[in-house]
Amino acid sequence: MWLDQEELIPGRRWDREIEDALANCPCTVVILSPASVSSTNVMDELSFALEEQKTVIPAMYQDCVVPFRLRRVQYVDFRQDYARGLQLLLKILAPQSAGQAKPAVSEVGGQSQPTVPDADERKRATEEARLGNERQKATEQKRLEKERQQAVRQARVEEERKRAAEEARLEDERRKTARRKRLEKNRKQPAGRARVEWNALTSGTREFLFSIFGTSDGKRLWAAGSEGTILKSDDGGKHWNARDSGTRSVLLSIFGTSDGKRIWATGSEGTILESDDGGEHWKARNSGTIEYLSSIFGTSDGKRLWAVGSEGTILKSDDGGKHWSPRTSGTENWLMVIFGASGGRQLWAVGQKAVLKSDDGGEHWKARNSGTKNGVSSIFGTNDGKRLWVVGTNAILKSDDGGEHWKARNSGTKNPLSSIFGTSDGKRLWVVGYEGTILESDDGGELWNRRNSGTKNKLSSIFGIGDGKRLWVVGDKGTILEAAIP
């Protein structure tokens, strides 16, 4: 009889020795127990013996589920009477012993485990091989997914290029048609009514422009948008030139000091950019977050800055944007815009179902009830912060007590609204939104009238000088509009 525990010699390959023993023996004894029937090695050895047409003798040592391939083979029962079972097994094996090869007995996974020196090493190698195979499969899956995503992105880029070219052609035709209609309408206006005409400016890009900012006199302007786009104008918007931002992130907001010497931009994945030379060169700042930062605001000298974004993110910098630290907003809603009264003591942040206020320079925030369940996307107020206006999904809200209480005003449109701007005293206000929407109010936001923008593109941001005499608007497909207000 051949037993693996006794016959295996240290230094030899156990799998090869067992295979040779099974090949040379006339019969094989399989000890059945819960451990052995669940052992891969035992089942492999059993399959080998049956395929080699060896006589297989099952020995039932403990109660267990008999393997399918042995259910029609009579077994020797050791469970009730061990001595009788052993006697019967020896009787069966006795005729085999005379002049024949030893039967092989496998106890791997049974009550008695093999004691060969490299058993632990075999287990360790098997486990390492399994883990290595899983890692290889995971790496291959990641590679294939990355290639698929790259192919999808490339297809989308190509499709977008074709779509953009066709839309550019159609937009050019619409502008010409709209200009003819606008001129005809202006000729028919009653005498004495001021005519306001919005003119399209050439931006030199087809990217989505999300935000615009300028100096207090409007002579220098900056716009930010998708794919890290930053545009600059040194002649009041007549001509625009692209600047290298050093990133391909979506830039959602741009802000600067009143003299335009220092400019900041924020965007996707926690992006914060800073320029110390009027927007000519840009460098990235560490925001400490990967959330989208959709708006940035600061004091007129730029010493203190605040940024807001997704998941209720609020960041503050007390050193001009070099270092940023988070503040607790008390909400997980996306905060779209932040605005403050002069000096930055009072601040407001608005977004999806959220209107927040801070009375201590952004250290602590409290929610205010806006009276609407719709999301709001922009806020504007007087310099002292006593009167405020917010706009959003076809809603305009007004507060006369610093944001404590709000009243809805009829916008006269169902189009979502994106941005609001007004004169420093809040008497005249302008709102922009989807489908080229431009609204104007001459009575502090009580009544609103629609103005002809000459475009159907989405308008995302409006900026103007303090007296409202000059205004600029940016939006989709590189749209930039300008108006001189009487």
- Domain CATH code at residue 353: 2.130.10.10
Contact 396, 382 (CB under 8 A): no
Give the domain-ending residue among 100, 135, 160.
Answer: 160
Residue 130 sits in the same domain as residue 212:
no
Tokens 């741009």, located at residue:
254
Residue 353: give the domain boundaries: 196-484
Q: Is residue 389 part of a domain?
A: yes
Q: Which contiguous run of DSSP H or E holds residue 261?
A: none
Give the domain-ending residue among 109, 134, 160.
Answer: 160
Residue 62 sits in the same domain as residue 129:
no
Residue 345 sits in the same domain as residue 316:
yes
Q: In sequence order, which residues have a C-beta less than 8 Å from that of residue 4 and are 6 or more positions away?
A: 14, 17, 18, 21, 104, 105, 106, 107, 108, 114, 116
Residue 303 sits in the same domain as residue 450:
yes
Q: Minimal CA–CA distance to 41: which of 63, 10, 17?
A: 17
Residue 392 sits in the same domain as residue 371:
yes
Residue 368 sits in the same domain as residue 226:
yes
Query: What was the pLDDT predicted at 1?
Result: 53
Contact 418, 460 (CB under 8 A): yes
Query: What was the pLDDT predicted at 4?
Result: 54
Q: Which contiguous run of DSSP H or E holds residue 355?
A: strand 354-358
Q: Is residue 377 part of a domain?
A: yes
Query: What was the pLDDT predicted at 168?
Result: 82
Residue 75 sits in the same domain as residue 142:
no
Give the domain-ending residue among 160, 184, 213.
Answer: 160
Residue 60 sits in the same domain as residue 152:
no
Q: Is residue 171 part of a domain?
A: no
Tell me the Cα Rg of the chain: 39
Contact 271, 247 (CB under 8 A): yes
Written as six digits, the tokens of 375 are 């999301």
Residue 109 sits in the same domain as residue 136:
no
Q: Is residue 8 part of a domain?
A: yes
Q: How many helices (H) and strands (E) does the chain have?
A: 6, 33
Query: What was the pLDDT predicted at 189?
Result: 46
Query: What was the pLDDT predicted at 48?
Result: 83
Residue 309 sits in the same domain as residue 442:
yes
Q: How many C-beta atoms lie closer than 10 Å to residue 409's C-beta? A: 18
Q: Minimal CA–CA distance to 456: which of 437, 474, 471?
A: 437
Query: What was the pLDDT predicted at 119?
Result: 57
Contact 344, 355 (CB under 8 A): no
Give how far the C-alpha of residue 349 lies from the chain's centroid of Cα atoms, to the nearest Å.
22
Query: What was the pLDDT predicted at 158?
Result: 83
**Strand, helix or coil for residue 479:** coil
Contact 287, 307 (CB under 8 A): yes
What's the rounded Cα separation, in Å, for the pair 26 and 96?
8
Q: Is residue 177 part of a domain?
A: no
Q: Which contiguous run of DSSP H or E holds residue 417?
A: strand 417-422
How many structural domains are present in the chain?
A: 3
Written as six digits, the tokens of 224 are 């930010």
Q: Is residue 176 part of a domain?
A: no
Beta pairing partners, 484: 470
DSSP class of 262: S
**CATH number for the domain harbouring residue 74:** 3.40.50.10140
Q: Is residue 180 part of a domain?
A: no
Written as tens digits, the pLDDT of the chain (486 aa) is 555 555 555 655 656 677 777 777 888 889 999 988 888 888 888 888 888 888 889 999 889 988 888 888 888 998 888 888 888 888 888 754 444 444 554 443 334 333 344 456 667 777 777 887 888 888 888 888 888 888 888 888 888 888 888 888 888 788 778 767 765 655 444 444 445 689 999 999 999 999 999 998 999 999 999 999 999 999 999 999 999 999 999 999 999 998 999 999 999 999 999 999 999 999 999 999 999 999 999 998 999 999 999 999 999 999 999 999 999 999 999 999 999 987 788 999 998 878 899 999 999 999 988 877 777 889 999 988 899 999 988 789 999 998 889 999 998 898 999 999 999 899 999 999 999 999 999 999 999 999 999 999 999 999 999 888 999 999 999 999 999 887
Q: Is residue 189 part of a domain?
A: no
Residue 240 sits in the same domain as residue 373:
yes
Residue 370 sits in the same domain as residue 456:
yes
Written as six digits, the tokens of 410 are 């009829």
E strands, 61-204, in order: 76-77, 104-106, 199-201
Q: How many C-beta atoms lie closer than 10 Å to residue 339's C-beta? A: 21
Written as six digits, the tokens of 417 are 């609204």
